[in-house]
Copies of this chain bind each other. A is one copy, B any other.
């Protein structure tokens, strides 16, 4: 301690996540021993993030969401970064960290941005319990959103995919929420916007757009939407890193000398 101005360090941290006692861990109000024995891992993820266990239906839908993020081959920048870092001989945690850093606003930001759009739009309504009235409000809101983006010449977030006309994940997710009777206002809004965008541009919801609507109806905050995307994608990234470390013995590269055009001074 310097001089005489001794102060007791005040680092008290308030948390509602876990309480660690000797030989006992309480997490979100449950003894971890019981959680380990009794609950599904997807429900555990829900519990960690929301602070309560899901209902059976919520748990089922949330499980679909997590699975749907699993992998899109080596096409995403994040997966390519993971393999590039792994190929340099760095440890697996560094390669996963590298992948996460590639989730920039152009890549993984879409889900958070789309959740913000859906949630701020729905929050602006005064929803009743009469689904006919609400559906009309939502249909009118969809037209507003569509027109706004159309006028500004901007892409509606959550729509279109570089490799797919119909993103098979979004298609399946939307079928499942309808079949399983889990269609809240955010999903209704996403479907209403899709009708308009598809009529006008032939473009459909992608996996981020579909999950943004579902996670909003599940009551998740947009930032956690991004977190849930990471949780769902990391097992795939780890599979790629492991494959890279097992199969390849040289530096991965995206370009070599012959691909480079020097435009500076000589």
B-binding residues in A (CB < 8 A): 1-2, 5-9, 11-20, 22-29, 31-33, 35-37, 39-42, 44-45, 48-49, 51, 63-64, 66-68, 70-75, 77-78, 80-81, 83-85, 87-98, 100-109, 163-169, 171-173, 176, 221, 223-224, 226-227, 230-232, 234-236, 238-243, 245, 247, 251-266
Contact = CB atoms under 8 A, between A and B. Distances in A.
A18 to B, nearest CB: 4
Given A101-B97, A226-B93, A264-B17, A165 B1 contact: no
Number of copies: 4
Contacts of A35: 67, 70
A263 B105 contact: no
A226 B90 CA distance: 14
Contacts of A90: 101-105
B260 A15 contact: yes
A73 B17 contact: yes
A13 B264 CA distance: 13
Contacts of A266: 19, 26, 29
Contacts of A23: 164-168
A66 B255 CA distance: 26
A168 B18 CA distance: 14
A11 B168 CA distance: 27
**Across chains A and B, which 5 residue pairs bring their CB atoms closest together, nearest first?**
A254-B254, A29-B265, A89-B104, A90-B104, A88-B104
7 contacts: A33-B168, A40-B42, A75-B256, A89-B104, A89-B109, A96-B227, A98-B101
B74 A89 contact: no
Given A29-B264, A33-B172, A98-B101, 11 more contacts: A1-B12, A2-B257, A8-B8, A11-B259, A13-B260, A32-B70, A33-B171, A40-B41, A49-B239, A77-B85, A93-B108
A48 to B, nearest CB: 4
A44 B66 contact: yes
A100 B100 contact: yes
A168 B27 CA distance: 13
Given A9-B11, A37-B176, A227-B242, A253 B63 contact: no
A51 to B, nearest CB: 7
Nearest to A35: B67
Nearest to A241: B227
A260 B12 CA distance: 5
A108 to B, nearest CB: 7
